[in-house]
Amino acid sequence: MAHRILIIGAGKSTSYLLDYLLEKSESEKLKITIGDLDTTSIPERIQSHQNCSIITLDIFKDQERITAIQGADLVISMLPARFHIKIAEDCLTYKKHLVTASYISQELKKLNQKVKENGLVFMNEIGLDPGIDHMSAMQVIDRIRDQGGRILLFESFCGGLVAPEYDDNLWNYKFTWNPRNVVLAGQGGTAKFIQEGTYKYIPYHKLFRRTEFFEVEGFGKFEGYANRDSLNYREAYGLQDALTIYRGTMRRVGFSKAWNIFVQLGATDDTYTIENSEGMTYREFINLFLPYSPTDSVELKLRHYLKIDQDDSTWEKLIELNLFDDSKQIGIIDATPAQALQKILEDRWTLGEKEKDMIVMYHKFGYELHGEKKQIDSKLVVIGEDRVHTAMAKTVGLPVGIAALKILNKKITTPGVQIPITKEVYKPILKALENNGINFKEYEVPYLGYNPDSVAS
């Protein structure tokens, strides 16, 4: 009897997921239904596949949504996280397993007991970050503990970047996932972590000047800035006694210093709209945030306001973005500053059709074993194929697809609303990811602890 999978949402991050499941559809006896509000972007080779059905699905139309979910054994939701709860409630009502790549919301957590009682697996945070980061970290943490070791330090960084051969702008960056999330990164709260047993807090306006630096063999130097809450997983990972826990986002060195210009300017604000934004030029947009002067140019005002020397490399980055162009228009009605900035950045940072992206992940584990302090660095680099089959889509979509098959084949059976941190889950999925070219390299290095010299003041 065929396994029936419903995939809700067919956006950019689903290319590898769809290919993987359709490739497995014969051997695994899968019948796959893809539901999306706009099905026109789904490739013809997928639409015409004998084991695939395409439906137009509006999740806000209750009967449409319920009918689609009733016809599945397992539902994969690739929608934005805020919409998962609708899907999850139906999956609980009609007793269907659920897989998402998103962070677990408080609403979803409240369903845990009922999900357990119904013997259902609601697997969340099974993409890249969150997802592969959880599984690869727990694999090493469990191994150290099984040897009798005690974790002293855990740091984890991840970044979606452009592949080196297509790294052709001064920012060393192009959008490889939702540009809006990049523009709003770090907002909504103070970053917090623990360092050598002391709680540390970084407010948003200081976030991009407190960076840690590290090197990935064969790919050069990177920097990392703190995620909003590094302590979210302290209990889940069993790291209550660790002296340092720090999670962050990776960029090439110099990105954060330049991005901080936009933060200080106010150009990343998403809380209000700009009058007359549609016909506003890029130059006029930048001038909104600067003091009035009857004589000074926008460029001069910006340099003085934010104390940018003319020979500072950051200035060249700003010039490259055409920020001072007086012919290009924002073209968005009632845009927030963040939306206007996103439009400007998309002009310069969009991947070309044949260009490739790159995922980099770096874990650092400091631990004590038999009285001796040791350290393991674990690193992952994945290069995409093109603008559609990106490394981002691969590292998000493949774990989702693999988890779905493991649940359907009863290789993952522990019920509940969960994340992939148990051996039952991460062992088979990491093994399958290795077979698909997603491999971590581990290095034993001298234990350094948390290095304060690597953090900019």
Cα(78)–Cα(216) distance, rounded to whole angstroms?
31
Residue type, 121: V
Contact 247, 227 (CB under 8 A): yes
Is the confidence at residue 273, as pLDDT, over 70?
yes
* Closest to 171 (Cα-Cα) out of 286, 248, 257, 249: 257
C-alpha to C-alpha distances, 192 to 204, 229, 260, 273, nearest whole angstrom? 11, 5, 19, 29
* Closest to 54 (Cα-Cα) out of 38, 75, 66: 38
Cα(21)–Cα(262) distance, rounded to whole angstroms?
41
How would you class 62 by CB atoms within 10 Å of its CB: exposed for 0-12, middle for 13-18, buried for 19 or more? exposed
Is the confidence at residue 454, as pLDDT, over 60?
no
Please tell me the predicted confidence (pLDDT) of residue 206. 95
Is the confidence at residue 398, as pLDDT, over 50?
yes
Please tell me the predicted confidence (pLDDT) of residue 309. 87
Please tell me the predicted confidence (pLDDT) of residue 1. 79
Is the confidence at residue 450, as pLDDT, over 70?
no
Mean pLDDT over the full length of the chain: 93
Contact 239, 245 (CB under 8 A): yes
Q: pLDDT band at 356, cuts 50/70/90?
A: very high
**Mean per-residue pLDDT, 275-295:** 95
**Mean per-residue pLDDT, 96-118:** 95
Is the confidence at residue 144, as pLDDT, over 80?
yes
Q: Which domains does the chain have, with CATH numbers?
A: 3-124 (3.40.50.720), 132-259+353-388+439-454 (3.30.360.10), 276-335 (no CATH)
pLDDT: is 331 or 10 the higher one?
A: 331
Please tell me the predicted confidence (pLDDT) of residue 453. 43
pLDDT: is 455 or 196 the higher one?
A: 196
SS3 assignment, position 83: helix
Name beta bridge partners: 161.
358
**Mean per-residue pLDDT, 394-403:** 96
Cα(260)–Cα(378) distance, rounded to whole angstroms?
29
> Could you give the dihedral angle defined by the CA atoms of residues 105, 109, 110 and 115, in that order, rounded to the nearest 10 degrees?
130
Cα(25)–Cα(15) distance, rounded to whole angstroms?
15
Please tell me the predicted confidence (pLDDT) of residue 457. 35
Q: Tokens for 408, please give them.
A: 């359907």
Q: How many helices (H) and strands (E) does the chain have?
A: 15, 16
Q: pLDDT band at 154, cuts 50/70/90?
A: very high
Is the confidence at residue 207, as pLDDT, over 60?
yes
* Parallel/antiparallel/unpaired status of strands 3-8 and 220-226: unpaired
Could you report the per-residue pLDDT of 422-444, keeping only the tens digit for each? Answer: 999 999 999 999 999 999 999 99
Cα(306)–Cα(315) distance, rounded to whole angstroms?
11
Is the confidence at residue 451, as pLDDT, over 70?
no
The answer to pTM > 0.95 is no
Contacts of 44 (CB under 8 A, 6+ apart): none
For the chain, percent of residues with pLDDT exceeding 90: 85
Please tell me the predicted confidence (pLDDT) of residue 189. 82
Q: pLDDT band at 92, cuts 50/70/90?
A: very high
SS3 assignment, position 300: helix
